Amino acid sequence: MNVPCIAGGQKMPNLAIFLPGLFAGSWIWSAQIEIMRNNGFEPIVFDDPFVKFGKNYGTVPRLIDFVKEALLPHKSREMMVFGNSMGGYIGLALASDPNFNVKQAFVSGCPGAGENVTLGLGVTRILSMDYAHKISRELFHDPSRLDTAMIETTFREIANRQCFMMGLSILRSLQKIDVREFIDSVAVDTHLIWGAHDRVTPIDPWRKMAAANPFLHLHSIADAGHCPMIETPEAFNAVLERALAKPQTTPSRLGELEARPVP
């Protein structure tokens, strides 16, 4: 059985939890990991993408259970949680769980709001380089921002049948989840930093959810797709740094905020 690789959590009193994506590992959070270190947080980083976790973790509930179990030794420490896409769903599950001392969450591209996320795995039999580039173009609003070398490096790390089958299993499991089952239980400041042009997990359902829960703050990134922390890091990080500078007090209905990339 594969044991997912987790790093950090031993030095600072406050933690920043970084969850991976389905196919991409912790590199998607490189800039934000550095920001949190500079703000006195000790990162706990789930290094491997979810498809490398091993066959025992092939459903969304099992992935959530694994992440929670891994964090149990730290559950009383103050945490900030970061998650994109599949990691975003798990991040919200953590933020809704009173057993963990989550103070803020930063989430983007979360599934579970009624979209049909397949990433084309239902019509392909292998993880090919062409498939990797095709999916990357779906994830980004502006294909010129794609880092071809990083895409190809990421692909080579998961180009095997086990990862393909894990991806298929997790995506099938995604069709059975509904974030609305626990979103009302999120009672910590949660910043939904969403690409306005996210074609995989569109922003519209999140407008209604954010309007209904005063702890959910929706930030629309004007020039980004599914992964704003990579595509428009300046805009994403501006939201993060403003949130870090604000004291966490009582919730307020901020409505939807618009964030634009810094020229």
Percent of the chain past pLDDT 90, that is, above it, reads: 57
Q: What is the DSSP string of 74-108?
A: GTTS-EEEEEETHHHHHHHHHHT-TTS-EEEEEEE
Q: Is the pLDDT of residue 220 over 70?
A: yes
Within 10 angstroms of residue 129's Cβ, the number of other Cβ atoms is: 12
Q: Distances from the Cα of 103 to the Cαs of 14, 95, 186, 187, in angstroms?
A: 10, 8, 11, 9
Q: Is the pLDDT of residue 130 over 90?
A: no
Q: Is the pLDDT of residue 242 over 50?
A: yes
Domain 6-259, what architecture?
Answer: 3-Layer(aba) Sandwich (3.40)
- Domain ranges in the chain? 6-259
pLDDT for residue 148: 80
Q: What pTM was estimated for this model as a whole? A: 0.87
pLDDT for residue 8: 56
The secondary structure of residue 38, as a DSSP letter, is H
30-39, 88-97, 153-162, 195-204: which has the minimum mean pLDDT? 153-162
Mean pLDDT, residues 131-135:
75
Q: What is the pLDDT of residues 57-80, one digit of tens each?
A: 889 999 999 999 999 999 999 999
